[in-house]
Structures are given as C-alpha cells and as structure tokens.
Structure 1
Amino acid sequence: MATPHRRAGALLAAILALSGVLLVPSPAWAGDIYVQLSPSTVEAGYLVGIRASCSENTMPATVESAAFGTVTAQPQDGLLTAAALVPEGTDAGTFRVKLNCPDGRNGSTMLNVVAAGRPQRGPATGFGGSAGPDAGDLLLVGGITVTLLGAVLGLVALRRRAATVPSGPARGRHAP
C-alpha cells in the first residue's frame, strides 16, 4: 500500500511533468508562418488587405497571386502588411495567395473573387418586393378610399344623432 508521502510525491511529479508540457511554446506562438486576407472574398476591382507573418517580421516579404500579381508586405507593428488591388477584368474564381518569406519558407491561403456587377433590383423577400409592380398604387388608392368613406359615414352618423336629440328643455322635467 502506498504511503501518503509516496502519493504526494507521485502527484507532485505528475504536476511538474504536466506544467513542463504546458510551458513549451506552441507553434502558433513560436513564429508561425501564415498569410491572412481581409476580406477573403472580394469583387473584381476592389482592394484586399493582407496580413502575414514570417519567422522574423523585421524584413519585407512578397505575396503573390494570379488574382493581383506580386506585392511586397512591409513590417508594421510586429506583422507584415500590404494591400493589393484585384483588377476589374479578373475572372471570378478561387485563387491561391502565396507568402514568400526572406528565409525561403512560405505560407498560403485562398482568395475568392466574385464577378463585378450590380444587381438591377433587390431580392423579392417580402415587404412589397413580391407584391408586383402595380400593387403599391392599388393599395394606396384603396387606403385613401376607405379613409374618405369612413369620414363620410362618421359625418352622416353625427348629423343623424344631432337630428334625433331634442333641442328643447330636458325630458322628464315640467315647467312650474
């Protein structure tokens, strides 16, 4: 049977081993190489922001893609940053974006380019869009007609009421 001292020693050894594993830096914090795009889906003719990281972010690196060519990412606040213009004539599709670090290492991501163009009309999602082109005029005329009809009926009802109420002395009272 294990004594309390042996249990405590085994527990202490396990805690030290676990803390040693947890204190070793992970690759994400140890100079991971990556490239990020903002936005990752862009319309042809617009800019895309690039944020990247190499082993050392003190020297410029190049970023290349068939979508925008080659740009140089400059060191800024501990990262590499750049902006690239996707030309208007770029076909819609998915393009690889490759980061080339000065030490020969690289990273990549994907850029989605959508065709340039503006919709002529918004989607028919209700709130009048699905009612058709003439429904708005019909509803407006119908609303005004109902309102006027209500006003006329209200005036007729007031006139009738005024005609049926006697205008003389109050009922039930007799003059002395």
Structure 2
Amino acid sequence: MVSVTRGTALLIAAAACAAPLLGAAPALAGPPAVAPRPAVLPVAEPAPGPPEGQQQPPADLIFVEVTPSTVEAGYLVGLRASCRDNSVPAIVVSDAFGRVQVQPQRGLLTASPMVSERTRPGNYRVKLECPSGQTASTMLQVVKAVRPSRGPATGFGGTAGSGFGKFLVPVGLALTVAGAVVGVAAARRPRTVRR
C-alpha cells in the first residue's frame, strides 16, 4: 500500500503544472522580426469555369437529376441539369411540381421546387427542355405520407401501458392540494404547552 502525504501531493501537483512551462521556448525581449515585403504582389487571374473542386460537365452532356428521387407530397426536391450552354436558364416540367425554370449556378442549372401537396403517389416524369431544343428526362417517385402510430416501446412510456397513465396528473394535483390543506390546518391549530 502506498502512502501519500500532503507535502508529496502538493509537490506532484506543482510538477504537473510547471512541466508545460519548463518545456516552452524562452521569451525574447524586443519587437518581432518582420520579413521584408515585396514591392509588387503577383495577382492570380481567376480561371474560367466552375470553382475549385467542381467539375464542369462536358459540353455535349445533357441531363437532369432529381434529389431525392423518392419523396412525399409537399416536400422540396433538388434539380440539377445540364444543357449545351449552362449560362442561360432552361425549363424543367413535371406533373409532380409543374413548370420550373432552372438557373445557372456553378456550371450547372439548378432549382428547388416543391412537390404539390395534392400530388398522388406514383412515378412522375421530369423533363428538361433546353433553349437549343435538346431534352432529357428522369423519374421522380412520390410516395404516400407515412405517419407513425406511436413510438417504439423502448422505455417508460412504451412499457407503462395505457392503464392508469391518464390519472397520474389529476391524482397528483389532488394529493398536493390535500397536503396543503392539512398543512395549513395543522399550522393554525392552537398548541398546548405541557408543564
């Protein structure tokens, strides 16, 4: 068994606090050294096309994408499209969300339409119409909205059942009021002094 005295514990704590300071570089007096600045700084010309990390689709690639491809009615979908000239807007048409203009953004054509809440579940064609006459299409699946009936029985709420749960708050409130009444009555009762 190891016995540690108060002095030893204090010495260990001081060593733990001082260790990072002893390994630090010494501070030097005086102003920090400044590297000389060049008289003229070179200016980088921005490269044409999409920003770094983005690849521009080939000029002859014409496509339309819907994200997500499966959605409930009333939710937004993302559209990405490409025509021969992505610097001018194009039109995307679908019975799920109607007629939408896709706008140039980072070398592609994009939009975020909402699927109409009245859209029935099923598969819907999404068609891109480029200004130069080319077309492309894909499919969008609209599914029925699923509403969960109740959560999983993983803890108190699911395992408690439906027996007396609805009575807990009213009974607790009634017991609290009854306790307050008994407490007030006991406090007002005259006290007798014993000799």
TM-score by length of 2: 0.49
**Hey, what does 1:174 align to over in structure 2?**
none
Would you tell me which structure has more helix in proportion to its own residues? 1
Does the CA-based 8 Å contact 2:68-2:77 persist in structure 1? yes
Does the CA-based 8 Å contact 1:95-1:112 persist in structure 2? yes
Query: What is the number of equivalent residue pairs in this alignment?
Result: 106
**Hey, what does 1:98 align to over in structure 2?**
127
Q: Does 1:79 align with 2:111?
A: no
State the alpha-carbon separation in 1 of the partners of residues 118 and 61 from structure 2.
Answer: 34
Q: Does 1:41 align with 2:70?
A: yes
Unaligned runs of 5+ in 1: 1-27, 135-176
Distance 1:133 1:92, change over 3 A: farther
Q: Does 1:62 align with 2:95?
A: no
Does the CA-based 8 Å contact 1:88-1:116 persist in structure 2? no
Matches within 5 A, 1:1-176: 29-122=58-151, 127=154, 134=161
CA deviation after TM superposition for structure 1 residue 113, in Å: 0.6
Structure 2 counterpart SS, 1:91: coil
* Structure possessing the higher radius of gyration over alpha carbons: 1
State the alpha-carbon separation in 2 of the partners of residues 62 and 42 from structure 1.
Answer: 21
CA deviation after TM superposition for structure 1 residue 132, in Å: 7.0
Unaligned runs of 5+ in 2: 1-56, 162-195
Q: Structure 1 runs of 4+ off > 6 angstroms? A: none
Does the CA-based 8 Å contact 1:31-1:53 persist in structure 2? no
State the alpha-carbon separation in 2 of the partners of residues 49 and 40 from structure 1.
Answer: 9
Q: Deviations over 1:3-26 (max 9, x none)?
A: xxxxxxxxxxxxxxxxxxxxxxxx
State the alpha-carbon separation in 1 of the partners of residues 90 and 160 from structure 2.
Answer: 55
CA deviation after TM superposition for structure 1 residue 133, in Å: 6.4
Does the CA-based 8 Å contact 2:59-2:83 persist in structure 1? no
Which residue identity is paired with 1:103? S
TM-score by length of 1: 0.53
Q: What is the CA RMSD across the aligned residues, in angstroms?
A: 2.4
Does the CA-based 8 Å contact 1:44-1:90 persist in structure 2? yes
